[in-house]
Structure 1
Amino acid sequence: MKEEIWELRLYVAGKTPKSVSAINNLNRYCEEHLQGKYKIEVIDLLLQPQLAEGDQIFAVPTLVRKVPVPIRKIIGDLSNEEKVLVGLNIRPLKHI
């Protein structure tokens, strides 16, 4: 059975400290827990504001898990790793 690729979309507004922190945190969590099984799309709403409507984005940064379904959202800079993993339903990899 082929493993599913996680599709994550992170909405930010420019290069604010919260946006940069969210991008860095998300990249780190994905490398630690979803190695090679994820795709991250970062959308800057200052450049593409029309894209906020599709995922009903009301605050930034917001992370949207598109796949696997159901869709889940997390708002904030993603600094609380446990909250992010639970929110996305990611089971931490066992470190041997």
Structure 2
Amino acid sequence: MAFHIIFATLGVGIPLMILLAELTYQKTKDNDYALMANRWTKALAILLGVAIPSGTIAGVQLSLLWPGFMEVIGKINGASFIFGVCL
């Protein structure tokens, strides 16, 4: 879980940084911002390639190690997991 939470946090923050770099490029026409957004996009692709399998493994481990806990959490927080999968 400690390994996966780093990827989850970066997966939320990097798209915002990409958006800000793209908007700044559109406003200033400075190619450095476009290059920065391009590099962050590549980093995000690699990050997702590692984060998705680690999240799947973490979910399976949680359901195997703490089935009672996951039963309660699934009832409370299940909709957000379904929404995340549908994205």
Same fold (TM over 0.5): no
Structure with higher Rg: it is 2
Which of structures 1 and 2 has the larger relative contact order (alpha carbons within 8 angstroms, sep 6+)? 1
Higher strand share: 1
Q: Under a length normalisation based on structure 2, what TM-score does the superposition of the two structures give?
A: 0.29
